[in-house]
Structures are given as C-alpha cells and as structure tokens.
Structure 1
Amino acid sequence: MSEFSWVGSKTSLVDEIIVHTINHITLGRFGGNSVAGQYKNEDGCLIWTDDKQDWEFVVLLDAHNSAESAELVINQFLIFREEIQTILLLHFEQTLKTLEGTILKILQDEKFIDECRRVKGETACLIALRKEKYLWWFSIGDCISYLFHPDLAKLGQYQVNQRQFYEWVGQVNTFDQKVPCYNRGIRELRKGLNRILLTTDGLVECPNEPYSNPRDIYNDTKDHKLNEGIMALLNTIKENNVRDSTTIIAWDVNILTDVTEPSDL
C-alpha cells in the first residue's frame, strides 16, 4: 500500500509546478503566480492506493482564509485511517454500501466539529474511491471530478460531480448544521482505459478560461501519458497567469470486464 498526504501551508509551490507519482497515481501541484498576487497555498490532499486489493482512495481539499481547515480534515482521516482501510478491504459491494455512513460519522464526530469551530477558514472537500469497475465520490463544495473515456466523450459527458458553492468544512461547516449538505454518487466505469481526474478550481477559474469546458481538458490530455498531460494542463494555466493554486490528482484504470450497454446493440 502507498500513502501520501500534503497541505499547501507546508510547501506553497508558488511559481512552481511539481508533478510526481504515488504508485500509479499522478499528483500535479502549482501554487499560483506571484506576479498575479499569489503568496500562499491553501490546497491539500490525501492519497491511499493498494495495487493488490485494486483500489484508490483520495481526498482533495481547497481551503479558504487559511489552510487550517485542510490540515484538520487530513488529520481527521488519518485518525480514522485503520477503520476506513478496513472497509476498503471488503468486497466492493459491501465497501460501496458502507463507506458513506463511515464518512458521515468521521465528519460529524463531536470532537472534530468542536475543532472546526476553532480553526480559521473552511475548505471544500472531494473524496473519491475507485474499486473494481466503480467510481464512488462524496463532495462538499466546489472541487471537481472528471471521468474521461471515448464512449463518454462521444456523448459530451466528462464531469462526474456538480460543483456546489457555499458548502464547506471548517469554521463555516455544513456538518455543524441540523441537516448537512453534500452530494455523493457511484458511477460505473467503461470497458477499456478510463482516466479519472480530480482538481481544485484553479484549473477552471483561470484567466482566458482555457479549461472552463471539460472537453478541452480531455483533448489536451487524452494522447499523453498521465504525467505529461497533467504537466501540460498546469503549464497552460501558469502561462495564462492564474493566481489561484491548483492541485490535480489523476490515474488510469483499465477495465476488462463487461459493462452496461444498451439492449439494442
């Protein structure tokens, strides 16, 4: 098993692009352009992957008003690391049925809620699990996930989750309300090579909007190896003088089993 976690307050990467791999997952980070006014990085991420058990579990964070909330969320997942990873080892049907309740328990933990009240700022949080031929996600806020495959691209389908504004975890906390707001779902991958990509909003909220349409992200990465494609995306937004930091997590999954097809094929 491979594990990695990072918060931008530790390494800001302002004016610097770094792309590297954690096992077969590519992590691309750019702290934004100082000439555009950037001086800090409030992104964060946690990556767990197990080749033998055939799953990837990632958490992507985009904090606001300080990185304290991102640090707190990552620490909370590390506290519950053993419990989460035990669930990930179950048969995929059991994992997918159980995981949402576990995530809710973690984010609604009374001690965690109290700690959230004392941090400065709040964070968007996107959680994704790929196990077998399924992609599961749990999203609070405006981080974005994409699923790229030729079958879906022909139909104009790229994005997995809907961005939601005014949802956070931290000082302002949806889980400190009587009814927390979030979205979650499960998608079946397509047969063949699927590319899963998660990003903070710096990629799409860039001057000149090179990637406001997900089709352009797909087209600029589909003919490249992952590291090269992610580097190309980050170089493009750097050249367009983006201020906001951007963190991208991406990996390829090759599905060999049959998947859902229409009955008239």
Structure 2
Amino acid sequence: MSNHIVEFNWIGSQENFVDKPDILQLNHIVVGRYGGNSNAGQYKNEDGCLVWLNEKEDWEFIILLDAHNTSESAEIIVEQFVNDSSQIKDLLSLPTTHQTFKMFEEQILNMFQSQEFLSTCRNVKGETACLIVVRKDKYVWWFSVGDCILYLFHPELSTLGQYQLNQRQFYEWIGQVNTFEQEVPCFSMGIKELRQGENHLFLTTDGLIECPNEPYSSPINIYNSFFNSKDGENIQSMLKNIKDNNVRDSTTIVSWKVTISKEATRASNQ
C-alpha cells in the first residue's frame, strides 16, 4: 500500500518563504506557500500543512494550519497525526466511505480530547486554526476549528452561487488557548457530495483573502483564476498578485481537482 501513498508535511518555522512564493506539485495536488512581504513587516511564517494521498485507493487527506504567536501549536498537530499515521491510513482504507468518515470523526475527537494532547497544548506558546479535509470516492468530509477556508468549485454549484463549504469561525483555536479545554468544545464539521465531472477543492489560510486591495476576498475571483492555465501556474500568479499588493500575512494553499464519473443527487423534478 505504501508504494501508492504520497506524504508531505511542512511548518513555516522550517522554511518561511517570506518574499519568496513557492509552488510544490505532489502528484495531482498543488501546494502554494508564501510567507508575506518583509517590507510590510513580515519576518516569520506560522502556517503549516500536511498532505497525504493514495491514488490507488482514491483518497486525499489534508491538514491546513494557521498559527499565531509561534508555530508551536501547528507543529504539535502535525506531529500527532504523523505519530498516528498508520491508524489514520487504516481508516482511510476502509471499504466504505461512510465507515471511513464515521470512524474518522471519532478518531479526531478522541485525539484532540485526550489528556496527553491537552497537556501538550498547555505547554505551547500560541494557538492555531486547524482545517482537516478528507476526500474519498465522491464525497468530501471536513473538520474545522477556526478560520481556514475550504472551497469547492464546480459549474453546477457556481451557477447557484455556492463556492465555500465551511464557515469561517473566529475565536476558535487549538493550542495554548484551546477549544477542547472548554466544557463544550467548539468546532464545525460537514460532508458534501461532489458533482459529476470536474470538482476543484481549494483550501487556503486567510492571508489570501485578507490581502490589501482584496483581490481574492470574493470566491468568484478565485474560481475565475483557474479558467485559463494549469493549476500550478494559476496559484503561482495568485501568490505573485498578493505579493504585488504588499500582503503581510502568510498564505498557504492546497488545491486539487477530482473528476467524478458517478451521477450526483438531483431534485425529483429535474
């Protein structure tokens, strides 16, 4: 099985990409990283991401992190998932997608609420937003704490004005300040059926959408950016654009397209 798995993870403290946009191609997934502009006052990058994919078993697993104060909180989450990787890959390989999602939810909640993880969080400086996304078969599942964004671009959805899957939530983090320390943890989750044809999944930290002059604050502008050329080139030009607009905040993007042959749900009278 491992022959078919691509694994990658990165934390901004390892390499910050300040003033240097970077594009990385992992099979069909593009990772774009930009640390922000030093002349706008940026000197560090506290984003992070983890990307695993298995083309043979038809799944992708992504974590996107946007930490602040330090990148320590992002580091401990990546570390936790790497340590539990064989367990998580077993769940991703379960025969039915329904089983995978159901057990995944359990696994993540158990992990984030375990005494060991909670005590690790108490000892870090700063906290992070955390978006976890699994695409398997014709479904995408997500678990979100904080304000990282997951978009799904498809012509049938864009006609109806739907681009964004999760709602950005403010004042939610994992780390020194931790939603899982509350009496009732706060997070959001969802599952979406992908449409027939080409579906484009696009995850980003908020540097992209909060850039000065707001070139990408509207999802339509992101959607339209992908009509003309290859994905890697599009993301390269997006990062160049925010650089030219003197963005300070760092931006991390994970983007990929999935073609679904199965029919999707329609209204009974369609």
Q: Give TM-score scaled by structure 2 length.
A: 0.97
Secondary structure of the residue that 1:202 maps to in structure 2?
coil
Q: How is 1:140-151 mapped onto 2 (pairs within 5 angstroms)?
A: 140-151=145-156
Read off the aligned partner of 1:214 and give its amino acid letter: P
Work out the percentage of aligned pairs sharing the same amino acid.
58
Distance in 2 between residues matched to 1:224 and 1:150, nearest whole Å: 17
Deviations 1:19-74 (A, max 9, x none): 11112110000010001000000000001000000000000000010000000110
| Residue 79 of structure 1: aligned partner | 83
User: Aligned partners of 1:52, 1:239: CA distance in 2, in Å?
Assistant: 40
Amino acid corresponding to residue 11 of structure 1 in structure 2: E
* Alpha-carbon distance between aligned partners in 2 of 1:188 and 1:223, rounded to the nearest angstrom: 26
CA distance in 2, matches of 1:82, 1:117: 26
How big is each residue's C-alpha offset from its partner over 1:50-108, in whole Å with a ceiling of 9 and x where there is no partner? 00000000000000100000001100111111111110001212102211111101111
In structure 2, the partner of 1:130 is 135
CA distance in 2, matches of 1:180, 1:125: 14
Q: Which whole-Å CA distance do the structure 2 matches of 1:201 and 1:102 have between them?
A: 27
1:174 and 2:179 correspond: yes
**CA distance in structure 1 between the partners assigned to 2:22 and 2:16 by the alignment:** 11
Deviation at 1:222, TM superposition (A): 3.0
Write the distance in 1 (CA, Å) between the matches of 2:240 and 2:259.
Answer: 27
Partner of 2:144: 139
Structure 2 distance, partners of 1:258, 1:133, is 9
- The count of residues paired between Structure 1 and Structure 2 equals 265
The SS at the match of 2:14 is coil
* Mapping of residues 39-58 of structure 1, within 5 Å: 39-58=43-62
State which of 22, 25, 30 in structure 2 corresponds to 1:26: 30
Once the 2 structures are TM-superposed, how far is the Cα of residue 232 of structure 1 from its aligned partner? Answer: 1.7
Counterpart AA for 1:53? E
1:223 offset after TM fit, Å? 2.9
What is the CA distance between 1:225 and its match in structure 2? 1.7
TM-score by length of 1: 0.99
Q: Does 1:235 align with 2:213?
A: no
